[in-house]
Every structure is written in structure tokens, then in C-alpha cells.
Amino acid sequence: MSNDVLVFVECKDSMPRKASLELLSAGRQIAAKFSSSLFAVLIGSGVKQAADMVSGFSDKTIIVDNGSLADYGWDSTGSALQEIVKKYAPMIILGTSSMTGKDLFPRLAARLEAAMVSDAVGFDFNGDGLKIKKPLYGGKVISWIAARADSLLIVTFRPNSFAVNEPGQKGEIIEEQVNIQKNPGIKVISFTKAESKKVDLQEADFIICGGRGMKAAEHFSLLDGIGDLMGGRVGASRTVVDSKWREYDDQIGKSGKTVSPKLYIGCGVSGALHHIMGMDTSKVIVAINKDPNAPIFQYADYGIVDDLFAVLPALKDELKKVREES
Amino acid sequence: MNILVFIKQVADTEARIIISSDQKSLEIENKYVVNFFDEFAVEEAIRIKEALKDVEITVCTFAPARATEALRTAIAMGADKAVRIDSSKYETDDLLIIARILAAYAKNEGFDLILCGRQAMDDESANVGAMVAEFLDIPHISQISRLNMLDPGRAEVENEIEGGKKISEIALPALFTAQKGLNEPRVPLITGVMKAMKTEITVLDPASFDAPFGPIDNESSKIHVLSYELPAKRPSVRIIDGESPEEKAGNLVRLLRDEAKVL
């Protein structure tokens, strides 16, 4: 085993995901500490353009570009990744705690007998080793985890856990041919692409979230307008999703998605614990609620106590001004 | 047809958690529930049994004695048998070891289908399901939102993947993890609760069955928790001043730009 760091890069619309660039920036720090190399790995079909961009963030960029890898599968993508891991023998593999990451890495960890830490949010150096920061119990507790030094370590991180570095000099791109294995027990019948071209909720820098205080599905157009303006996403509390005002895909909280954007604005969100657990790691939290005793104010950085239907149009205008200035 | 459902008992959202003074362990208030996503797995197994009749549902957990309550909940809902693999001598931070134990149990017991929740609410790792499938060398599908049994050997499932929804036909045996929306888990009836009180829960020692998937002793754990700590606290909220909603919005945006620097 080397001391090298290998980052599994996920792509969306033929471009690397922001979360993967974050991992490369984190991987850079780890590789510097261990005086080792940083590898990016892209597995898919038509990944050369993405690889070119990624190469500015890594020492070497390894691609497996094959028509049969167009659609992700733990079997096919996993078999390709496994061969790359065998050949390059890294010390650590970094992935994203995304739907793909959650599906792929546990299986790979079992196959490779690797140490695995999932859904982490940071790391630090621990003498000669590495320690991984992972929240437990919806963020009520932070744990610091170490792996045995002689073991391959696989870590998946939540999106928005690290800042993205500026790209540097482009490194070498290496194309590998590998055997791709498909599981004979799985037959894909159909794939329906989600219509939204918007950024994923978990990757969004800006989230404006509606709660019960939004009162009706049609009022969410107020939030959609601000979300679009800011290039972010609209989230929803559990009550809102249970009332069918918004899709489950938008739900933030313990039974939905865990998000940590730069800026989270909760509108008419009371702040039930299961919701807080899904957004507590946001960098800045704003709450807009007419009830000054709403629990969400205990978790917020800034609060507006007022009628959100009066605040939101003004907020949109003010945000628009700032956008136009910059 | 044998369906195995793996469940986990987790601390309730409201449970108080205290970190020991040496930061090496946690004391969790005695408020435990069946993991939210596992309820969908139990419910789906019961629905398959109701549709196909000749089905036996075994619900299984790797846990200390307190989890008996979670198993009884699953029996009260409609599962047939409950098994607790005793974790007290095998406490580990390494989920791979737990997956080895559960996979070994499944292999010894035999099964056609394994169901579990998409992730546990306490550690949110989403690891054990796919790891068990890998050890058993069977296909898995993550976070399914629909399941149709086609004939005894095949199932059609819908699941959410990056960028959309996929429908696949899977040859059994297989493992599926349940997403919210797969069904509406039932609330146990009083008759179910009565039955659950009388049902004998099998308790197994992991050492009592073959473990063909690698070491399960704590010594072989590749992961260990160094310490626990409380998350950094946010300063108290700053309530934005202003005579009107418009003024408050303006002041907020200025602070977000100049002070918080997030715009």
C-alpha cells in the first residue's frame, strides 16, 4: 500500500460535481501531509471533458471511459473502481456521501476488507495518522474516528464539507482499460430522468426552506423566485411534504436530506428537532417567523420576527440588488 | 418464501445524550425506537406475505437486550419470528463486523429476500445493507420506493438514483433497502401487541454459528472512535431591527453581505 490519496469523482451533465472538487481540495491537504500523490478517478462514458477540468486539481487523473459505464451501477462502476484501486493501491479513498456514494462504497469496502467511515464532515491530523470527523445522533454529538494504519480507508463526506481550491497546473491524464462486470441478477427496465436541471439540494450553496407557516402550496412560488435568483434550491419541512405542498425530494430533516449550505433561510419553519438535525451544519442560518418563540431562533444566526409574506418580496428585491452590484 | 428483515433500535430524536468526562463513551437516555426507515422494510415484508400467503417473515437485529422491545414492535405489526443476535460481547465501531455477523446469520438461516431501512437514524452511515449483500454475493438495490413480486424468483423494484428514478427487475435472492414512501407502516393492533408479548424471541450468540465472511472479534475492528465531543455552539440569534418588513429585509441582506459574508 502506498500513501496515495484517491478521489472518486462523480459527474453531472458531463462535468465534475462541486462535491467532488471539494474532495480533491481536501485530498490535496492529505497528500501534502503524507508527501504522496493525489489521484482523481473518473469512471463513465464520455468523461474526457470532465477529466480535463479535474486534472487541474489532481496530480494524476485516471479515467475509465467506456460505453457500458454510461449509467452508474454498483456492479459495473464498482468493478472498474476495484481494479483501479488494486492497481494504484492508495492509502485512502475519498467519496461523496451522495446517493451514488452510499450505494457504491459499502459494497466496495466489504469486497476490499477496507476500513469505512461514512457521512463524515471533516478530518484532522492525529500525530502521524488521520482522524475523521463524523456527526452522530443528528449532529447532537461529534465523533472523531481513526482507522487501523495498515488498512485501506474509505471515507465518504457530505457535500459542502470543504471549500474548493483554485485549480493549479494540469496533471497527467491516464486512460485505463479494465474488465467491467455486470451482475446478471439485475435487469434495468427503465430510467426516468428527473426534469429538474437545478443543483442538487445537498450540493446547493443557498437554500431557502418553507415550513408550515407558508400556509399553502401556491405560496412556495415566493421561495422559488428567490431560490432561482440565488442559483440555489428550495427546501421543505416534513409537514410541508406530508401535506403534499412539495415533493419528498425537497425534504430537509432526519427523515429527508441532510444539508449544509453556506446560507440557509427558514421561512415559517418552527424548528422541530428532526428538521434542525438536517440543517444544523449550515454555515449561516437565518429564520423568518412571526412567532418570536419559535424554536428555530435558538439555532439561527440571524432572525426576522415578522410576517413572512411581507418580508419575502422585500428580501427578494434586496437580494436582487446585491446580485446586480456584484 | 423466507423474508429476513434486519432492523436496528435507535435512540429517539428527543433522547438526551451525555458524553462521558473522558470523552470516550456516550450515555444515552433510555428512549429507543425502531429505526424510522426499518419500519418501511417490516411493513413491506408484511404486505408481501398478505399478497403471496406462503411467506415467513423473520425480523432480526444485532443488539443488546434492550432491543427486544423493537423486535416485539415488528412482531406486533405482523412479522412471524424474531431473533436477537446478542451484541454484548461484540461491541464494535466497525460496521463491517456487524455486516459479517448478519450475513453469516442469513447464510445459515436461508432466505429468499432481505429487507432493511436505507440508513440508521443514529449514525446515518447507510453501510450495513450493501455490505451484507456483498458478503452474501447477492444483488442489492438501495432506497426502493416500490416493490412488486413478479413470481417466486423475481421482483420489480423502483428506486431513486442520482438524477432520476430507475425500475429494475431483480433475480432473487436479493437485498433491498427501504426509502420513505415505499408504503405506510401500520400501527400495530391490540391483538398484534398481545401476540408479540407471548412470542418467544430467539437469542443467539454470534459465536454459535459459522462466520464464513471474515473475523468478527473486536480485535479485528479496523475502525475505532477516538473521542466524542459536543458540536460547536452558535452564538445567540441576532434579531434584525427595523420599522417595517422592508427595512428588516434590507438590514438582513446588508449583514449577510458585510458581516457573515455569504452573499
Q: With contacts defined as CB-CB under 8 Å, which chain A residues touch B244?
A: 310
- A32 is a domain residue: yes
Spell out the CATH class of B2-220: alpha beta
Does the CB of B146 have a partner CB in chain A at under 8 Å? no
How many interface pairs between A and B have CB atoms less than 8 angstroms apart? 247
Mean pLDDT of B117-138: 97
pLDDT band at B151 (very low <50, low <70, confident <90, very high): confident
Residue B12 at interface with chain A, using a CB cutoff of 8 Å: no
**Residue ranges of A 219-248 with Cβ closer than 8 A to chain B:** 248
Q: Which residue of B has its CA nearest to A231?
A: B263
Q: Are A111 and A32 found together in one domain?
A: yes
Same domain (yes/no): A104, A207? no
Together in a domain, A20 and A154:
yes
Q: What pLDDT does residue B30 have?
A: 96
Q: Is residue A14 part of a domain?
A: yes
Query: Is there a contact between A145 and B226 (Cβ–Cβ < 8 Å)?
Result: yes
CATH assignment of the domain containing A101? 3.40.50.620
The tens digit of pLDDT for each residue in A29-43 reads 999 999 999 999 999
Task: Supply the pLDDT for residue A199.
Answer: 86
Looking at residue A196, its pLDDT comes to 64
Which residues of chain B are within 8 Å of residue A122 when distances are taken between CB atoms? none
Q: What is the pLDDT of residues B13-65, one digit of tens each?
A: 999 999 999 999 999 999 999 999 999 999 999 999 999 989 999 999 999 99
On whether residue A189 sits in a domain, the answer given is no
Predicted pLDDT at B162: 85
Q: What are the pLDDT digits (tens) for B139-150?
A: 999 999 999 999
Best residue in A71, A76, A107, A241 for a mutation probing chain B (most B CBs within 10 Å): A107
Range of the domain at A314: 201-325
Mean per-residue pLDDT of chain B = 96
- A chain contacts of residue B131, beta-carbon cutoff 8 Å: 106-107, 109-110
Chain A interface mutation, best of B29, B175, B222, highest count of A Cβ atoms under 10 Å: B222
Residues A147 and A209 in one domain: no
Q: What is the pLDDT of residue B172?
A: 97
Could you tell me which chain A residue has the CA closest to the CA of B180? A255
Grid cell locating B255? 449583514
Both A150 and A32 in one domain: the answer is yes
ipTM entry:
0.95
pLDDT of residue B138: 98
Residue A113 sits in the same domain as residue A260: no
Domain ranges of chain B: 2-220, 233-263
| CB nearest to A304's CB, from B121, B227, B248 | B248
Q: Whole-model pTM?
A: 0.95
User: What is the number of domains present in chain A?
Assistant: 2
Same domain membership, residue A314 and residue A216: yes
SS (H, E, C) chain A: CCCCEEEEECEECCEECHHHHHHHHHHHHHHHHCCCCEEEEEEECCCHHHHHHHCCCCCEEEEEECHHHCCCCCCHHHHHHHHHHHHHCCCEEEEECCHHHHHHHHHHHHHHCCEEEEEECEEEEECCEEEEEEEEHHHCEEEEEEECCCCCEEEEECCCCCCCCCCCCCCEEEECCCCCCCCCCEEEEEEEECCCCCCCHHHCCEEEEECHHHCCHHHHHHHHHHHHHCCCEEEECHHHHHCCCCCHHHEECCCCECCCCCEEEEECCCCCHHHHCCCCCCCEEEEECCCCCCHHHHCCCEEECCCHHHHHHHHHHHHHHHHHHC
Average pLDDT over residues A282-289: 97
Give pLDDT, residue A201.
Answer: 93
In terms of domains, do A133 and A29 share one? yes
State yes or no: pLDDT of B152 exceeds 80: no
Chain A touched by B241 (CB under 8 Å): no
Does A197 have pLDDT greater than 70? no
A137 touches chain B (CB under 8 A): yes
pLDDT at B110 over 90: yes
Does B166 sit within 8 Å of A319, measured CB to CB? no
Q: How confident is the model at residue A229 (pLDDT cuts 50, 70, 90)?
A: very high
**Is residue A39 situated within a structural domain?**
yes
Q: What is the pLDDT of residue B233?
A: 87
**Element housing B206 (H / E):** none
3-class secondary structure, B157: strand
Mean pLDDT of B163-181: 95
| Smallest Cα distance from A137 to chain B, Å | 4
C-beta separation of A251 from A235 below 8 A: yes
Position B112 scores a pLDDT of 97
